[in-house]
């Protein structure tokens, strides 16, 4: 059934966009056919010595979808629900996303089937180093450039790059080592990371939203927001929205959410969550957390709150044909990858609720990854101000391209984003 399998959703999106593209040209048809499958699927097993002395074998993937515009690019996800079809979908979306942001990169994605919360730090390190060894021959600055995704961090990227350096047969010069470091982005600054990368997805989302709201003539009043997901992306978009005059009334993590009608403080909420180990009770308004200020809600209820802007920032298929009719938000900003199924898209479009699509809204992360790659290759380190200025310009250009296309071809923003991306990818394909 379309909607439950992310790769089927991705292919439904592709075929919808394809119907807007000159299909009478047989060459275009051939290229669209090629884009229905990844160029390469790497399947790895990673044996890890656990703290109890026993070996556990983990299953991992790296899918290299398309490199017509440049090296494959995309994160590595650690999650117990990772599947090959999910990684295929995510790698396809990366190819589209990099084209939307007009980066000289293709699309790839990796994943390991693991719940990282069940591992010790040492086990996590051994798993990450094992995965880096397993895919080492297939990645590199001109081949494939991995990065963080769900449950992976700058620290994990650091272990991976360190492992790649260790694999080198001879000691590298400083210049050679910096080039090798560009193989992985989203690193900590001390390992060659870029200023601004950590919060880039969230900040990019803010820039895209501001650009789109002004096109939609929805600026000027204090808009309310609900954010599903409180990881790197969910937290940062909530923080930037809060700092920029939006009222964030609800956030959630995988266990459930909180609703603070007066508007919550994302920074205090995160501190409280870290201290208590749960979001429940972290009803932080202004400078205090007060049990009376809010209430506990489920993830399902969060999606249906009466807010102006709904931000799904967790996993795929959160908005489906079942809850799409009940959504009350005026605009949806997709910060997760693939949070809306094609059936839900159709319902939302008919209801007049614009969905600002993932491949635009969350492309700030990979954009600053591309800046990190470029800095490493050139042996440079840019200031945060320079990085953020470049990010803002990129997001505004991408938002404007997609808005204009949607007006020209008279369709939804996702299909328009695909049409823009496909135009660029098809041109680059031989």
* Active-site residue set: 109
Interface with ligand GLU, residue 232, by CB under 6 A: no
Indicate the DSSP class of residue 116: G
| Single residue of 5, 9, 128, 185 touching ligand GLU by CB under 6 A | 185
- Find the residue with minimal CB distance to ligand GLU: 75
For tokens 């600026």, name the residue.
Answer: 219
User: Which residue in 55, 36, 35, 33 sits closest to 46, CA to CA?
Assistant: 55
Q: Which two tokens stand for residue 19?
A: 């119907």
- Closest separation between CB of residue 74 and ligand GLU, Å? 5
Q: Which residues contact 376 (CB under 8 A, 6 or more apart)?
A: 141, 178, 179, 181, 182, 192
CB 108 within 8 A of CB 63: yes
> How far apart are the C-alpha atoms of 195 and 148, rounded to whole Å?
15
> How far apart are the C-alpha atoms of 362 and 242, rounded to whole Å?
18
Which CB sits closer to ligand GLU, 224 or 362?
Answer: 362
CB 83 within 8 A of CB 43: no
Which CB sits closer to ligand GLU, 38 or 75?
Answer: 75
User: Which residue in 179, 186, 126 sits closest to 158, CA to CA?
Assistant: 186
CB atoms within 10 A of CB 229: 27
> How far apart are the C-alpha atoms of 84 and 76, rounded to whole Å?
13
- Residue 287 gets the label, from left (phi > 0), alpha (psi -120 to 50) or beta, of alpha
> How far apart are the C-alpha atoms of 72 and 44, rounded to whole Å?
18
User: Which residue in 193, 125, 194 sits closest to 160, CA to CA?
Assistant: 125
Interface with ligand GLU, residue 362, by CB under 6 A: yes
Which CB sits closer to ligand GLU, 153 or 362?
Answer: 362
User: Which residue in 105, 200, 119 sits closest to 156, CA to CA?
Assistant: 119
Interface with ligand GLU, residue 284, by CB under 6 A: no
- Closest separation between CB of residue 90 and ligand GLU, Å? 7
Interface with ligand GLU, residue 369, by CB under 6 A: yes
| Single residue of 96, 124, 147, 251 touching ligand GLU by CB under 6 A | 147
- Closest separation between CB of residue 109 and ligand GLU, Å? 7
Which CB sits closer to ligand GLU, 97 or 293?
Answer: 97
| Single residue of 38, 158, 186, 229 touching ligand GLU by CB under 6 A | 186
* Residues β-bridged to residue 256: 253
Question: Which of these segments, 47-55, 156-164, 301-309, 365-373, binds ligand GLU (CB under 6 A)?
Answer: 365-373
For tokens 């956030």, name the residue.
Answer: 251
How many residues bind ligand GLU, per CB under 6 A?
13
Which CB sits closer to ligand GLU, 73 or 179?
Answer: 73
- Closest separation between CB of residue 366 and ligand GLU, Å? 4
- Closest separation between CB of residue 231 and ligand GLU, Å? 11
Binding mask 42-81 for ligand GLU (x = CB under 6 A): -------------------------------xxx------
- Closest separation between CB of residue 55 and ligand GLU, Å? 29
CB atoms within 10 A of CB 381: 15
Interface with ligand GLU, residue 365, by CB under 6 A: yes
Q: Which two tokens stand for residue 369?
A: 């990854």
Interface with ligand GLU, residue 416, by CB under 6 A: no
| Single residue of 151, 183, 337, 406 touching ligand GLU by CB under 6 A | 337
Interface with ligand GLU, residue 417, by CB under 6 A: no
- Closest separation between CB of residue 70 and ligand GLU, Å? 12
Site for ligand GLU in 97-116 (CB under 6 A): 97
410 class by beta-carbon count within 10 Å (0-12 exposed, 13-18 middle, 19+ buried): exposed
Binding interface with ligand GLU (CB under 6 A):
73-75, 97, 147, 149, 185-186, 337, 362, 365-366, 369
């Amino acid at each position: 059934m379309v909607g439950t399998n992310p790769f089927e959703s991705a292919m439904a999106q592709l075929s919808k966009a394809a119907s807007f593209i000159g299909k009478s040209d047989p060459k275009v048809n051939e290229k669209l056919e090629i884009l229905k499958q990844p160029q390469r699927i790497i399947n790895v097993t990673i044996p890890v010595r656990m703290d109890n002395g026993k070996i556990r074998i983990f299953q991992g993937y790296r899918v290299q979808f398309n490199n017509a515009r440049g090296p494959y690019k995309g994160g590595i996800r650690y999650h117990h629900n990772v599947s090959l079809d999910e990684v295929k979908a995510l790698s396809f979306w990366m190819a589209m996303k990099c084209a939307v942001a007009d980066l000289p990169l293709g699309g790839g994605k990796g994943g390991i089937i693991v719940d990282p919360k069940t591992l010790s730090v040492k086990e996590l390190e051994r798993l990450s180093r094992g995965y880096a060894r397993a895919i080492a021959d297939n990645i590199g600055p001109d081949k494939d450039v991995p990065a963080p995704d769900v449950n992976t961090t700058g620290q994990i990227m650091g272990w991976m790059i360190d492992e790649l350096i260790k694999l080198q047969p001879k000691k590298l010069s400083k210049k050679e080592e910096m080039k090798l470091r560009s193989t992985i982005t989203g690193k900590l600054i001390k390992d060659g990371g870029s200023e601004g990368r950590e919060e880039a997805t969230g900040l990019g989302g803010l820039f895209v939203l501001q650009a789109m709201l002004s096109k939609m003539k929805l600026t000027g009043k204090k808009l309310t927001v609900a954010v599903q997901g409180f990881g790197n992306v969910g937290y940062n978009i909530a923080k930037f929205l809060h700092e920029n005059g939006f009222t964030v009334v609800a956030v959630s993590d995988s266990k459930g959410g909180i609703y603070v009608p007066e508007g919550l403080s994302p920074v205090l909420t995160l501190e409280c969550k870290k201290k208590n180990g749960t979001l429940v009770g972290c009803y932080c308004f202004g400078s205090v957390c007060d049990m009376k200020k809010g209430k506990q809600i489920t993830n399902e209820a969060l999606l249906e709150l009466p807010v102006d802007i709904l931000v799904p920032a967790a996993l795929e298929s959160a908005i489906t044909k079942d809850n799409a009719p009940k959504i009350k938000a005026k605009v949806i900003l997709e910060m997760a990858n693939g949070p809306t199924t094609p059936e839900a898209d159709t319902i939302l479009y008919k209801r007049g609720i614009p969905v600002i699509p993932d491949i635009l809204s969350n492309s700030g992360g990979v954009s600053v990854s591309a800046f990190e790659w470029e800095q490493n290759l050139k042996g440079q380190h840019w200031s945060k101000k320079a990085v953020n200025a470049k990010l803002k310009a990129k997001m505004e250009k991408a938002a404007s391209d997609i808005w204009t296309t949607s007006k020209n071809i008279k369709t939804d923003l996702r299909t328009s984003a695909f049409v823009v991306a496909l135009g660029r990818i098809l041109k680059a394909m031989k």
